[in-house]
Amino acid sequence: MPKQEESKVVNYTKEQMFDLVADIDHYAEFLPWCNSSKIISESKEGDIKIVIADLEIGYDQFVYTYRSEVKLHEDKNEINVRNLDGPFKYLENNWNFITISDCECEIKFNIDFELNISLLDLLMKKFFDLAFQKMVDAFIDRANEIY
């Protein structure tokens, strides 16, 4: 099952990068293979905002919608995601945002998942490194565009 970790230092504040990742409604504008995104509900537990969202992902005839629970920490240090429904047996990913200076932060991202669809799972395993890097780069490109 694909697992990946990435760490990048960017010339943006942790708050800017947190806000960009938390802006689920705009994923389809810049995230590869994301056809649409929609927030279904929002609630709060202590200092954590919990968002339930649907993402339609895919390419060509392989298009699937999956629902996830996204935990947005009020201090803007962390975002945790897990799937609730869709083509994944499981999916968990975490974002950590660490201040380096007034205009620089480190982003630590990890993901672990397995798909329910064996053919698609085989394809994802084969191309996962490339797909993962494209997704990480898309967030950085989006930051360059809006900040």
Structural domains in the chain plus CATH codes: 3-146 (3.30.530.20)
Q: Which residues pair with 63 in a beta bridge?
A: 58
CA distance 34 to 49: 23
Q: What is the pLDDT of residue 127?
A: 59
Weakest mean pLDDT among 17-21, 119-123, 127-131: 119-123
Q: What is the pLDDT of residues 42-71, one digit of tens each?
A: 999 999 999 999 999 877 777 889 899 999
- What is residue 1's DSSP assignment? -
Considering the entire predicted model, what is its pTM?
0.84
Q: What is the mean pLDDT of the chain?
A: 87
One-letter identity of residue 70: V
Instruction: With residue 138 as reference, give the H or E element that holds it.
Output: helix 118-146
